[in-house]
Chains A and B, each alone.
Chain A
Amino acid sequence: MLIFEQSQNNRCNTAQAPLEPRDTSAIPENLRRKKKPRLPEVSELQVVRHYTRLSQKNFSIDTQFYPLGSCTMKYNPRACNSLAMLPGFLARHPYAALEHSQGFLACMYDLQEILKDVTGMKAVSLTPMAGAQGEFAGVAMIRAYHDANNEGRQRTEILVPDAAHGTNPATATMCGFKTREIPTDDNGDVDIEALKQALGPQTAGIMLTNPSTLGVFERDIKTIAELVHAAGGLLYYDGANLNAILGKVKPGDMGFDVIHMNLHKTFSTPHGGGGPGAGPVGVNERLLPYLPIPIVARDGDKYHWLTEKDYPKSIGRLSAFMGNAGVLLRAYIYARLVGREGMTRIAEFSTLNANYMMAKLKQAGFTMALPQRRATHEFILTLKKEAKELNVNAMDYAKRLLDYGFHAPTTYFPLIVPECLLIEPTETEDKQTLDGFIDAMVSIAQESREKPEFVKGAPYTLPVKRLDDVKAARELNLAWKPGNTL
C-alpha cells in the first residue's frame, strides 16, 4: 500500500514543523500557488511503520551476501557512518568561513593525499559526485589537453574495449567524442593487433578498466600504453575494479594519465539503494592544469580552497559546492581504519575469495568464461551450456539464488560473454558464506536438471514474483495521482 493510500484528510504531524500561522501575503497573487500539492496526510507512527516495513522488502549487504560483480558490495563499517554524521560535520554550511572549516578541510586534504598514493598519480580532485561524473571529468580533461595543443579538432575518437561498462561510451558522447570499440582476444586481453589498426591521428584516448570487466588482469598494459601514447592519445583508467590491486599495482605505474575512483566501491561507502557515490579523479603532470575545482590545499598548518584563479585552465566545476562531502568523509574514515597495511590485504583477500569460489564452482561442474586465467577480485561463469540444454538461463539462476537468500551476481555483463554471471565476493565475506553460495549454485544446477520449469518460475519467497517489465514500459505508470487509487 502506498503512503498516499494511508492518507486521511486533515491529519497532520504537529511536532516537526512550526506551529503558529505566519502571514504570507507579501507574495503577489499571480505568483501564488493555485492548486495545493497532495502530499500524504499521515502520522509520524504511520511514516515510521510504513518505511520500516518497506525496508524489510529489500536485500542489502547488512542482511544478505551480495556477490555483485563490478560493484564491490563489501561491508560498510558502522563507524564510518556514525563519525561522518557527527553534528559538527552535518551542520557545516558549504560556504562556511575558512576559520570554521579547518577540521573538515584537514580530512579532505588527507584523503587527497591517500588517493594520490594509492593510484600513483600526481594530484587528485575530490569533486566528482559518482563514477560516471568522474569519467566525465577525466574525458573532459583529455579533451581540454588536446584543445590546448591545437589538436582538438582532429582528435575525435575515444577507444573502449567491447567489454567496457556502458558509462564509458556514454561519457565519450557527453564529452563530444565518437566511440570506437576494440575487440577482446580469446584470453580476455585487449586485441593488440586490432588496437594498432584503430589508433591514428584521430585518437583522443582509450578508456580501460584493469583488472578488466572480464575479471582478469590486462597483462599487455605497458604495450597498450606505449602504443596509445605514440599515437598521441591519452590513457583513462576506470577505477571500477581498483579493489583488486590496492597496494599491489598503481595505475600511475601502468602508464595511465587520468583515473577515477569509485569510493562507494573500493572505499566502502554505502550504495544507499543507488547512491550517493563519489568519483574523485587523479591525474599525472600532463593533465594537472585541467583538474576540476575546487581542490584543497595546505599552506603551513592552514587549509584553503583552490579555485578558478588557481586553476585557470580547469575544466570547471561539476557540483554546486564541492561534491559529495559526506561520502568523502566516510571514505576517509574507512581509509584510516584500514590503514596502509590493510589496503594491501583488501586486494589479497578479495582475490583469495574470488579464486576460491572459482575453483569450487569449477569443481562443481560449472563453466568459467576464462578457465585458463587467474581470477582477480571477480570472475565470470557462463551458463551457455545450461541455457542450451535445459533452457535455464543466467536470469533464472539469478532469480532462484534470491530464494536461497543470496543477492544475484551481475547478469549479462560484460555483454560479450553469453549467459554470464559476474561474481565478486569481496574481502569481507567469510568462507562459510562463500560455501553456502556454492551449495546454492549446486542445488540450482540439480533443480535445473530435474524441474527446469520450476527454476524458470523463481523467485517464490520474495514480496513479489517476476515482474512484467514490458507492461511497465508500455503502460507507463510513473506516479500516483489523486483519484487513481483512493
Chain B
Amino acid sequence: MPFIPHTETEIQAMLETIGADSIEALFDEIPAALRSAGLQQVPLRASEMQVTRLMTQRASQDGTPLCFMGAGAYEHHIPAAIWQLTTRGEYYTAYTPYQAEASQGTLQLLYEFQSMLTQLTALDVSNASLYDGASALAEAVLMAVRANRKSKSRRILIADSLHPAYRKVTHSIVTNQKITLETLAFDNRNGTTSINDLPAEPGDFAALVIPQPNFFGQLEQVDELTDWAHRHGALVIAQVNPTALALLSAPGEWGENGADIACGEGQPLGIPLSSGGPYFGFLCCTQALVRQMPGRIIGKTVDLDGKEGYALTLQAREQHIRRSKATSNICTNQGLMTTAATMYMALLGTHGLEQVAAHSMHNTALLVEKLCTIKGVERLFQGPIFHECALRLPVAADTVLQQLAQRNILGGYALEQDYSDLSNTILVCATETKTEQDLDDFANALRQSIENPA
C-alpha cells in the first residue's frame, strides 16, 4: 500500500487492542445514509516509474521558450546551493515553528530573513511572509486602513500604473470590508503618475499606493508622491521589486519621512518561475505600525539559562489567539520560499544583488535599443526604466506574440488586455540571464514577424 507501512499481523494486533472486529467497524459512527459509493474519477494508482514517465512527458511537452516576459515574475539565475539546501528534509518537512525549542533552525533563519528585508527596504520591521506580491498588497491596504486612525473614509488611492492583477486581487480581498480603491491616472508621456495632475484637494484618504518600478518598468517620482500623501494625512504604501532595491531609493528613504509600509513579490530572490507559484509576499513597516502587521513575526529572546534564541512573537495579533479580532486570517504562509530567499540574499550579498539588478537593467536597455531599430517599433513612454519596457508595435500585439511563440520565444505581455487604450503594445523584459545572442534572436524574430507576417 503506497506510504502505509502496516503488515497484516500488525493490523490484527491493533484491532485487538482497540476491541474492533475490522477497520470498517471504526467508521460505525458515520450514518449509513451518508456513506459514499466510492470514488469514480480518481485514476487507479500508478507506480513511481509510471508517474515519472507521465510527468517527464508533460514537463517537456511545454518546452522552454526563450523568455522575455516579466510582468511580475522574473527569470533570474538561481545559484545551485539554494534549492539543494532548501529541500533538505529538516526545512522541507518541518511544521510552523510553534514549538520554538524544536524549531530554532527555521526561527533563526526567519529572523535573518526579516533582517535582510529591513535592510533592503530601509524600514524597521518585516514579517515572515505572506502568500504573494498581490495578496501582500491587499494586506498592506487593510493594515493601512486599521493604522491610519485619523482617516475615516476607508478610501485608498492607487496608481493606475500598478500591476493590473495586483489591483484586481486587492479589490477582491478588501471590498468586503467596505474599502474603496480609486486609481490615479498615469501620464501618457512618461507612463508614471503625474505630480502636476495630483488633486490639490484630494479629500480624506487612508493611504496612497506607489509602485516602483511601476508595471510598465517606468520609475515613479516617489519622493514627491510620498510627501504629497503625507501632507494630506495619508500613509504611503510602497509596492517594490526587491532586486531593484539594490539600486533604487529604498521605501524608508522616500521623501521627507519615508514610506510607512513596503510590500512586494519576493519571487526574484531565488524562486523559480514555476507557473506563478509558490512565491512569497513580503511586508515591512515602521516600528510605529508593527502591532497592525498581519502574519507571523519572529523575535529574538533568551531561554531559561539566558541563552539567545528565537520565537514567534506578538501572536496576540493572530487568528489562533485573537480569532475574529485578528489582524488577518492568515495562518500558513510561504515559509519554504523565504528559506530559499534568505539563502539567495546571503549568497549574493549586496554586491551580487547590485550586479543582478545592473545587468538586468542593462540587458533590457540593450534589447530595447535593438528592437527599436525595427521600423514602426518605438518606446511607448519616455523617462527612466528599470528592467522592463513598454513598446509600441506597428501591428497587433496578439498576432506578433503568437508568431513569436511558434518560434519558441515568449515575447512579452500584451498591454491591451488591461489597458484598452494601449492596443499594439507589449511589455518586454530581459534579465541578467540573457546573452547578446538571445537579444539578437529576439530582435530578428520580431523583425520577421512584423516585416514578413506569415
A216 within 8 A of B: yes
Contact of A56 with B325 in the complex, beta carbons under 8 Å = no
Contact of B355 with A249 in the complex, beta carbons under 8 Å = no
1/0 per residue, CB under 8 A from B, across A84-119: the answer is 111111111111110111111011001001101110
A301 within 8 A of B: no
Q: Which residue of A lies closest to B219 (CB)?
A: A31
CA–CA, A3 and B346, complex, Å: 8
1/0 per residue, CB under 8 A from A, across B179-203: the answer is 0000000000000000000000000
B122 within 8 A of A: yes
- Pick the contact of A480: B23, B111, B326 (CB < 8 A): B111
B281 to chain A, nearest CB (A): 9
Contact of B172 with A317 in the complex, beta carbons under 8 Å = yes
B375 within 8 A of A: no
B302 to chain A, nearest CB (A): 5
Q: Which of B115-165 contact A (CB under 8 A)?
A: 115-116, 118-120, 122, 124-126, 128-129, 131-135, 163, 165
Contact of A337 with B321 in the complex, beta carbons under 8 Å = no
Contact of B95 with A71 in the complex, beta carbons under 8 Å = yes
Contact of A93 with B69 in the complex, beta carbons under 8 Å = yes
- Pick the contact of B347: A44, A219, A335, A341 (CB < 8 A): A44
Contacts of A22 in B (CB 8 A): 355, 358-359, 361-362
Contact of B273 with A47 in the complex, beta carbons under 8 Å = no
Q: Which residue of A lies closest to B133 (CB)?
A: A320
Contacts of A318 in B (CB 8 A): 135, 169, 172-173
CA–CA, A86 and B54, complex, Å: 12
B288 within 8 A of A: no
B83 within 8 A of A: yes
A-B contact pairs, 18 of them (CB 8 A): A22-B358, A47-B346, A77-B3, A79-B52, A86-B56, A102-B62, A106-B58, A117-B40, A166-B321, A167-B329, A170-B322, A170-B323, A170-B324, A323-B277, A341-B45, A353-B14, A462-B101, A467-B101
Contact of A342 with B347 in the complex, beta carbons under 8 Å = no
Contacts of B168 in A (CB 8 A): 316-317
Stretch at the interface among B73-81, B226-234, B441-449: B73-81
A28 within 8 A of B: yes
1/0 per residue, CB under 8 A from B, across A451-486: the answer is 000000101001111111101110111111100000
Contact of B335 with A275 in the complex, beta carbons under 8 Å = yes
CA–CA, A403 and B107, complex, Å: 19
Contact of A345 with B346 in the complex, beta carbons under 8 Å = no
B89 to chain A, nearest CB (A): 3
A416 within 8 A of B: no
Q: Which of A324-372 contact B (CB under 8 A)?
A: 324-327, 333, 335-346, 348-349, 351-353, 355-356, 359-360, 363
A391 within 8 A of B: no
Contact of B85 with A52 in the complex, beta carbons under 8 Å = yes
Q: Which residue of B lies closest to A398 (CB)?
A: B99
Asked whether A431 and B94 contact (CB < 8 A) given A175-B176, A322-B276, the answer is no
Please provide the 5 A-B residue pairs with the shortest distance between their CB atoms, ordered closest to farther: A339-B45, A321-B276, A62-B89, A272-B336, A274-B335
Contact of B328 with A55 in the complex, beta carbons under 8 Å = no
Counting chain A CB atoms within 10 Å of each CB, the highest count among B346, B348, B402, B432 belongs to B346
- Pick the contact of A276: B58, B90, B336, B353 (CB < 8 A): B336
B64 within 8 A of A: yes
B250 to chain A, nearest CB (A): 6
Asked whether A37 and B245 contact (CB < 8 A) given A97-B402, A103-B59, the answer is yes
A-B contacts, CB under 8 A, total: 695
Contact of A275 with B334 in the complex, beta carbons under 8 Å = yes
A442 within 8 A of B: no
Q: Which of A203-242 contact B (CB under 8 A)?
A: 216-217, 219, 221-222
CA–CA, A184 and B95, complex, Å: 29
B340 to chain A, nearest CB (A): 10
Contacts of B64 in A (CB 8 A): 87-88, 91
A149 within 8 A of B: no
CA–CA, A44 and B346, complex, Å: 9
Contact of B55 with A86 in the complex, beta carbons under 8 Å = yes
Contacts of B337 in A (CB 8 A): 272, 275-276
A54-B104, A129-B135 known, 13 other contacts, Cβ within 8 Å: A31-B248, A37-B250, A56-B90, A73-B95, A91-B272, A94-B275, A166-B322, A253-B34, A274-B129, A359-B17, A473-B313, A476-B313, A481-B118
Contacts of A86 in B (CB 8 A): 55-56, 59-60
Contact of A264 with B27 in the complex, beta carbons under 8 Å = no
Contact of B134 with A3 in the complex, beta carbons under 8 Å = no
Asked whether A247 and B178 contact (CB < 8 A) given A171-B329, A315-B172, the answer is no
Q: Which residue of A lies closest to B177 (CB)?
A: A176
- Pick the contact of A75: B3, B40, B245, B339 (CB < 8 A): B3
1/0 per residue, CB under 8 A from B, across A9-47: the answer is 001110111110111101110111111111111101001
Contact of B324 with A169 in the complex, beta carbons under 8 Å = yes
- Pick the contact of A100: B29, B342, B410 (CB < 8 A): B410
Contacts of A143 in B (CB 8 A): 176
Asked whether A320 and B346 contact (CB < 8 A) given A52-B85, A276-B336, A466-B303, the answer is no
A273 within 8 A of B: yes
CA–CA, A55 and B90, complex, Å: 5
Contact of A33 with B311 in the complex, beta carbons under 8 Å = no
Contacts of B278 in A (CB 8 A): 129, 275-276, 324-327
CA–CA, A318 and B352, complex, Å: 33
CA–CA, A370 and B136, complex, Å: 41
CA–CA, A56 and B88, complex, Å: 10
Contact of A136 with B173 in the complex, beta carbons under 8 Å = yes
Q: Which residue of B lies closest to A84 (CB)?
A: B55
A75 to chain B, nearest CB (A): 6
Contact of B115 with A4 in the complex, beta carbons under 8 Å = yes
- Pick the contact of A464: B5, B290, B303, B336 (CB < 8 A): B303
Asked whether A275 and B333 contact (CB < 8 A) given A248-B36, A292-B172, the answer is yes
Contacts of A51 in B (CB 8 A): 85, 109, 342-343, 346
CA–CA, A175 and B18, complex, Å: 44
Contact of B119 with A37 in the complex, beta carbons under 8 Å = yes
A173 within 8 A of B: yes
Contact of A85 with B83 in the complex, beta carbons under 8 Å = yes
A254 within 8 A of B: yes
Contacts of A161 in B (CB 8 A): none
Contacts of A448 in B (CB 8 A): none
A291 to chain B, nearest CB (A): 12
